[in-house]
Amino acid sequence: MFQSMSDAVFGTSTPATTDSKEFDDAKAEEVDSDLTFDVSAEEVSLIRADIASAYPEDYTFLSNDYISSVASKPYSKDPTKRRPIEYTTSKLKDLMKWREENAVHLQEMYKLIPGETTNDSATDDVENAELATKAQALATSLNYASMYWHGLDKKGRPVLWIRTNRMPWYPDVEAQVNALILLADAGIKLMPEGITDFVVVSDSNSPPPPNPQFMMNLLSALVKGYPDRLYELISCPVGSIIQFVMKLLLPLMPSRLASKIILIGEEETKEKLSSYLLNGEDDIPTFLNGTADHDLYYPKDGAFPDKTLTFDYKGMIERLEVSIKEYKPVN
């Protein structure tokens, strides 16, 4: 029965049969401790200077708060001590290398989507036709309006919403992952001082069968490109497909990441989300039996049906900026 359900959901291969060795380093470096250590401003400056020298065009992506957060963790070889500065710098350089290969070019790719730049002939001037084609695929993935930032939690963290019922049954995996990375970067760049992580809320009741390669690429991005960025992923209300998928995926993940994935049923959804979202029950969306209508901003058929990018990407950024500017801590 397990195999028949696995085949029905994933086809003939499952994430469990996919090479998961890329997560071994992350698992080996885990420390089962919430202990943190002080990091001086001078130490943060030293780390930043080293990274800026190696990655001058992208080093500002890492805020001082994030660098300090990474540096403050216990050292895996001796959890009673803080990570050495050299170790933290090396790990952050690994992250920047991943960004160089997977993330940095996506903002330029976004600008190649017709209508998304002040130079409307930008796509026509592109020498690399493949990049222009990928820009079109990126627009298609964004246009599903299945992933977007909207609002904050009570601590001021941005909330990324995932509406799995809008996901395509046969996705362009590369384009779908590119869209997620583009969105993640946009939200992180807007984080106010003191905030280094975000919350994900996934409407997981009626998704199409998950694509195994997309799921593995998603895990890889979280582990390699966004370590310690995810505060929690709340999946609700959880249907049988997601329950089955997570039974396969959780053993592959570093335990610290796995512990941040919360699966809840329909009867718990209102209470859980009310405790998280900035305005409590008033922020629960209609698709989760609340009153906040996200479709006013992210309709299924797009906010701009006459454009290549029907998804309101710029409006999403502007609304998140306003939410962050107006945020007042909740006691």
The model's confidence at residue 157, banded by pLDDT at 50, 70 and 90, is very high
Which has more confidence, 10 or 41?
41
What is the pLDDT averaged over residues 282-295? 96
What is the pLDDT averaged over residues 126-154? 91
The pLDDT tens digits for 44-78 are 999 999 999 999 999 999 999 999 999 999 988 88
Would you give the end-to-end CA distance of the chain in angstroms? Answer: 49
Residue 171, CA distances (Å) to 175, 178, 200, 329 in order: 8, 12, 21, 39
Q: Could you give the CA distance from residue 82 to residue 80 in angstroms, rounded to a whole number?
A: 7
Q: What is the pLDDT of residue 166?
A: 92
- Determine the residue type at 60: T
The model's confidence at residue 250, banded by pLDDT at 50, 70 and 90, is confident
The pLDDT tens digits for 183-212 are 999 999 999 999 999 999 999 877 776 677
Peptide bond into 237 cis (omega under 30): yes
Q: What is the pLDDT of residue 125?
A: 54
- Give the 3-state secondary structure of residue 97: helix
Whether the predicted pLDDT of 244 surpasses 70: yes
Whether the predicted pLDDT of 27 surpasses 70: no
Q: Is the pTM of this model over 0.75?
A: yes
**For the ranges 152-166, 219-233, 237-251, 258-272, which has the lowest average pLDDT?**
237-251
Q: Please provide the DSSP assignment of 307-325 as one string.
A: SS--S-HHHHHHHHHHHHH
What is the pLDDT averaged over residues 242-270? 86
Whether the predicted pLDDT of 3 surpasses 50: no
Which has more confidence, 317 or 115?
317
Whether the predicted pLDDT of 15 surpasses 60: no
Helices and strands in the chain, H and E counts: 14, 7
Q: What is the pLDDT of residue 20?
A: 54
Q: Say if CB 11 and CB 212 are below 8 A apart.
A: yes
Q: What is the pLDDT of residue 14?
A: 45
- Percentage of the chain beyond pLDDT 90 is 63
Q: What are phi and psi of 305, to 5 degrees?
A: -60, -20
Q: Could you give the CA distance from residue 278 to residue 290 in angstroms, rounded to a whole number?
A: 14
Whether the predicted pLDDT of 254 surpasses 90: no
Whether the predicted pLDDT of 117 surpasses 60: yes
What is the pLDDT averaged over residues 269-297? 96
The model's confidence at residue 28, banded by pLDDT at 50, 70 and 90, is low
Q: What is the pLDDT of residue 214?
A: 83
Q: Please provide the DSSP assignment of 124-167 as one string.
A: HH-S-HHHHHHHHHHHHHHHT--EEEEEEBTTS-EEEEEEGGGS
Which one, of 179, 208, 181, 201, lies nearest residue 309 by Cα? Answer: 179
Whether the predicted pLDDT of 17 surpasses 50: no
The pLDDT tens digits for 292-315 are 999 999 999 899 999 999 999 999
What is the pLDDT averaged over residues 261-270? 91
Q: What is the pLDDT of residue 116?
A: 87
Q: What is the pLDDT of residue 35?
A: 86
The model's confidence at residue 252, banded by pLDDT at 50, 70 and 90, is confident
Whether the predicted pLDDT of 7 surpasses 50: no
Q: Say if CB 47 and CB 89 are below 8 A apart.
A: yes
| Side-chain half-sphere exposure of 202, counting CA atoms within 13 A | 19
Residue 132, CA distances (Å) to 103, 136, 137, 306 in order: 16, 6, 9, 19
